[in-house]
Amino acid sequence: MRRFCALISRTKRSSDEINFLRKSVALGSASSAQTTSSETTKASFSTTNTPAVDENLVPVFVDGREVHVQKGVTVLQACEHAGVHVPRFCYHPRLSIAGNCRMCLVEVEKSPKPVASCAMPVMPNMNIKTTTDLVKKAREGVMEFLLINHPLDCPICDQGGECELQDQSMIFGSDRSRFTEGKRAVEDKELGPLVKTVMTRCIHCTRCVRFATEVAGVQELGVTGRGGQAEIGTYVSKLLSSELSGNVIDLCPVGALTSKPFAFTARSWELKPTETIDVLDGLGSSIRVDSKGTEVMRITPRLHEGVNEEWISDKARFSYDGLKRQRLDAPYAKNPKTNKLEKVTWETALEIVGEQLSKADPRNLRAVAGKLADCESIVALKDVMTSLGCVNFEVEGVNADAVNVDSRSNYIMNSNIVGVEDADVVLMVGADVRLEAPVLNARLRRANVAGGVKMATLGHHGDLTYPVENLGTEASIINDLLSGKHAFSETLKNAKNPCVIVGSAVLNRPDCAQLLKSLHQLSDQFGVVTNDWNGFNVLQASGGTTGALDLGFVSSKNKHISENDGLKVVYNLGSETISSYDSEPGKKFVIYQGHHGDVGAAGADVVLPGAAYTEKDATYVNTEGRAQRALACVAPPGLARADWKILRAVSEFAMVPLKYNTIEQCRERLAEVSPTFNAIDEVEPSLWLNGASYAHLAGGTPNVAAKGGAGKKTSGATVFASEPLTTNVENFYMTDAITRASATMARCSKAKATGSAF
C-alpha cells in the first residue's frame, strides 16, 4: 500500500515525504493531536464551497492559492505541493525534523512571528505567505547569521557549484558583510578514507548526525558543545563505521563533508553526468556517473523509490578508481614457447578463439558467466555456445545443479525490495545483509525501528545495526523449525507476512539443494508464500547473477560432463572465482573475456578485453528481477570493446554467426528468451510452484559433496553439510575484480581492519 499511495502529490518523492510524516504523526505527538481537534471545529465552517474531497485532505492557502493537502503534513510540504519552493538546509524528507537552521521561515496569517515551515503542521484554512517583505527579511537575517562563521573559501571548496549555501546566498545573501569580528574556526575531523571534512564550513544542520543515527544506524556522529562552540564530530576520534557513510556527502548542504577521493580533481560543472545503474551488489542501485573525458570522476546516487531510495553504498560510490587500474586494454594470448600471456591483435586472438571453439568436441565445451556479466553478452555467449552444441553452462557463485531456474520465484526477491517493509517477521538465512546490500539493510533497519518488524537470523553475521534474534548457525536448525521443535516456529506461525531472505552464499553451498528444498517447505508451511504475499527472497550478490539465471545459463540436466572427463575448452565471461578452470597446457584451454586483470585473466590462454559496467550500454537484472539499463558513460580503455560485440565477432570466427548485428536486435533476442527484458525497470510477480521445484529431491537423501561432510542424521530429517551458515562477503569493500583493483577500497579495508585511517 505504501508503494501505491500518491496522497497529495504527483511526484514520487513528495508522496514519500508525506508517508514519512504520516508515520511520525501516527506516533502521536501532542502537536498533531491539537491539529486534529482544532481542525474538526474549523472544518464545520469551511464545508460550503469545497467540493466533496477526501476527508483526510485539508484546504490551505499558499500565497493566495488554495491547495488541499493531507492532514498533518508540514507547512513546507504544503508549499511544495503548491509549487512554491521554500529554501531549507536542515529539512530532509527522509530524516527526522530538526528545525534548527531557520532558513525555511514563512509568514502565517495570525501568527505574530515568522514560523519555521518545516516543523509546523498545517491547520485547515491556514494562510501561508512566502513572498512578503517579512519573509524576505527573515530569511536574509538567517542567511546573514549563517554566513557569519562560514569561511569565504568557495574557490577552493569542492562543493562549489553544487552548494546549497552558495545557491541560497545568491538569493538571500547580502553583497557585503556587516560582521567585523573574528570568524570562528573548527578543527577538522578524521572520519576515514572516504569522507573529507572541513568543519569550519559546517552550518550545523545536523543532517549528517541524523543520517548516521536514523538511516545508517551507527550512532557515532553527534553535536558536541553548544552555541558558538557547537561542533559536529565524534568527540572521541573515531572513523565512521558505516557502509553508507558516503551519503553524508550528498546530504551535507555545504562543503563541510566532501568526498575524499574526489577532492580537488574536478569542478562539478566540468563533469558529464550519465544516469545509469550500479552492479556491484544485487540491488542494482540507480546511480549517476560523472565523467570527464575518458575518466569516471565520481559516482553519486539517483532517486529510485523501488530500489535504493536516494542512498548508495560506499562500494558503489567509491570503487570507481578500480575502473582505471588493472584494466585489460588489449587482447592477450599465451605464447606456447614462454607460456606467458603476450599482447596480440584482435584478429589473432579471435582466430585462436574461433579455432579452439569450432574444433573442440561440443561435449567438452563449457561456458561460465561471471557475476558482473551483462545480459546482452550472456545471451550472445549462450547462443554461440548452443550453436556449437555445448550443453555445459555455469553461473559464477551458483551451484547450478541445485538452483531450479524453471521458476523465477526460486532465485529472486519475490516480495520486491520495498516489500520487505510489509513483512512482520524476517528470517535471514546465511546472509549478512549489512555487508551484502547495505542499502537494503537500511530498509530492514527502518522496518525494525519504525515498524517493529521482528528480525531473526540463521548463520554467522556481524552487527546489523538493529536488534536480531540469532537462531544459531547450523543448517540443521531448519529441521527444528519445520518440526516445530524450535521456539521460533511459533513466531513464524503467528506472523501474518513472514519473509525469508536467503543469502547468496546458500546458493553456492554443496547442500544447496537440500537447503532450498527445506526453505521452500518452510515457506509453504509457515505462510511465507500465500495467495497475496510471497516473502521468499533470494538476495543475489551482484548485478549479473539474476540475469544469467533468467537467461537459463545452466546446463541441461544430466547431459553435462564433469570437468575431469574431457573438459577441453572453457569460455569464461568475467568469472574470477573458478580457479579449477585454470588452463593446463595441452589439457584445458581457457578463454577469458572480461575487463580486469584478476584471477580469471591470470588463468587464461586467451584474454579478450571487455568493458566494465560504466563503459557499455547493457542490461542487468537486479535481485528482485527488475531489468535495468546501464549506459556507457566513458569509452572502454584501449582496444577493449563492449562485450556482446566481442561475442558477435567470436561467433563469426567460430563459424556460427549470431543472427543479431545491432544492440537493438540483441535486445529483441533477450526479450524472446525471457519476458523480463520486455519491461525495463519493472518487476513482474513470478509464479510460485508450491515446492514442486524441489519435489524430486527425496527428503532424507544426503547428497552432500565430500567437501562438506555429512552432518548428524536425525530420523527423517534432511541432512545438511556441517559447515555453519554464513555470508560469502568477508570484506564488504572487496567483492569483485573492480573493487579489488580500487585503491580507495583497499584503504577502506585497511581502515576497517585497523581502525585507523593511516
Partner 1 sequence: MTSSDLFFTTTTTTTSKKNNGMNNNNNNNKRNTNSNTNTKNIFKQQTSKTNNNQTFSHVINERLYSVGLMVHRDSAENNSSLKWEFSKENETKVQTILKRYPPNYKRSAMIPLLDVAQQQNAGYLTVPVMNHIAELLEVAPIRVYEVATFYSMFNRSKVGSYHVMVCGTTPCMLRGSRDIEKALSEHLGVKKFETTRDGKFTLGEMECMGCCVNAPMIAVADYTGGVEKYTYNYYEDLTPESAVSIVQTLAQGKMPEKVGSQIRNKAEPITGTTTLNTEPTGPNCRDLAKLKKELEAAAAEAAKAAAAEAAAGAKK
Name the one range near ligand SF4 by CB under 6 A: 75-83, 174-182, 246-254, 508-516: 246-254
For residue 207, the minimal CB distance to ligand SF4 (Å) is: 4
Q: Which of 69, 79, 90, 249 binds ligand FES (CB under 6 A)?
A: 90
DSSP labels, 232-267: EE-SS------TTTTHHHHH-SSTTEEETTTTTT--
Q: Which of 2, 43, 99, 167 binds ligand FES (CB under 6 A)?
A: 99
| Closer by beta carbon to partner 1, 213 or else 386 | 213
Q: Which of 34, 40, 56, 219 binds partner 1 (CB under 8 A)?
A: 219
Residues 6+ apart with CB under 8 A from 41: none
Q: Do 376 and 666 meet the contact criterion of CB atoms below 8 Å apart?
A: yes
- Asked if 206 interacts with ligand SF4 (CB under 6 A), we say yes
Cell of 19: 508517508
For residue 175, the minimal CB distance to ligand FES (Å) is: 24
The residues with which 231 forms a beta bridge, in sequence order, are: 224
Cell of 241: 563505521
Residues 6+ apart with CB under 8 A from 421: 2, 443, 446, 447, 451, 453
Task: Report the alpha-carbon distance of residue 465 to residue 603 in Å, rounded.
Answer: 40
208 binds, among ligand SF4, partner 1, ligand FES, none (CB under 5 to 8 A by kind): ligand SF4
Q: Which of 153, 187, 584, 652 binds partner 1 (CB under 8 A)?
A: 187
Name the one range near ligand SF4 by CB under 6 A: 251-259, 476-484, 709-717, 724-732: 251-259
- Asked if 569 interacts with ligand SF4 (CB under 6 A), we say no
Cell of 229: 562552540
For residue 70, the minimal CB distance to ligand FES (Å) is: 19
- Asked if 204 interacts with ligand SF4 (CB under 6 A), we say yes
256 binds, among ligand FES, ligand SF4, partner 1, none (CB under 5 to 8 A by kind): ligand SF4
The DSSP bridge pattern shows strands 606-609 and 332-335 to be antiparallel
Query: At CA 114, angle to CA 109 and CA 116, rounded to 5?
Result: 110
Q: Under rule CB under 8 A, which residues in 142-181 are in contact with partner 1?
A: 176, 178, 180-181
Name the one range near ligand SF4 by CB under 6 A: 204-212, 265-273, 538-546, 719-727: 204-212
Residues 6+ apart with CB under 8 A from 418: 2, 3, 305, 306, 443
Q: H helices of 329-455, where?
A: 346-359, 375-388, 433-436, 438-449
Task: Report the alpha-carbon distance of residue 312 to residue 545 in Å, rounded.
Answer: 20
326: left (phi over 0), alpha (psi -120 to 50) or beta: left
Name the one range near ligand FES by CB under 6 A: 93-101, 533-541, 550-558, 595-603: 93-101
End-to-end CA distance of the chain: 48
Largest separation between any pair of C-alpha atoms in the chain: 95
| Closer by beta carbon to ligand SF4, 244 or else 475 | 244
| Closer by beta carbon to ligand FES, 117 or else 416 | 117
For residue 635, the minimal CB distance to ligand SF4 (Å) is: 36
Query: What residue type is 35 in one-letter code?
Result: T
Q: Which of 112, 155, 228, 452 binds partner 1 (CB under 8 A)?
A: 228
The DSSP bridge pattern shows strands 332-335 and 589-594 to be unpaired
- Asked if 220 interacts with partner 1 (CB under 8 A), we say yes
Q: Which of 60, 75, 106, 116 binds ligand FES (CB under 6 A)?
A: 116
For residue 301, the minimal CB distance to ligand SF4 (Å) is: 16
| Closer by beta carbon to partner 1, 230 or else 561 | 230
| Closer by beta carbon to ligand SF4, 254 or else 737 | 254
- Asked if 189 interacts with partner 1 (CB under 8 A), we say yes
Task: Report the alpha-carbon distance of residue 391 to residue 393 in Å, rounded.
Answer: 6
- Asked if 143 interacts with ligand SF4 (CB under 6 A), we say no
The DSSP bridge pattern shows strands 469-470 and 536-539 to be unpaired
- Asked if 237 interacts with partner 1 (CB under 8 A), we say yes
Looking at 496-616, which runs of residues are DSSP E strands? Answer: 498-503, 529-530, 533-534, 536-539, 569-573, 589-594, 606-609
Task: Report the alpha-carbon distance of residue 420 to residue 430 in Å, rounded.
Answer: 17
182 binds, among ligand SF4, ligand FES, partner 1, none (CB under 5 to 8 A by kind): partner 1
The DSSP bridge pattern shows strands 272-277 and 257-259 to be unpaired
Q: Which residues bind ligand SF4 (CB under 6 A)?
A: 202-208, 232, 251-254, 256-257
Q: Which residues bind ligand FES (CB under 6 A)?
A: 88-91, 99-104, 116, 118-119
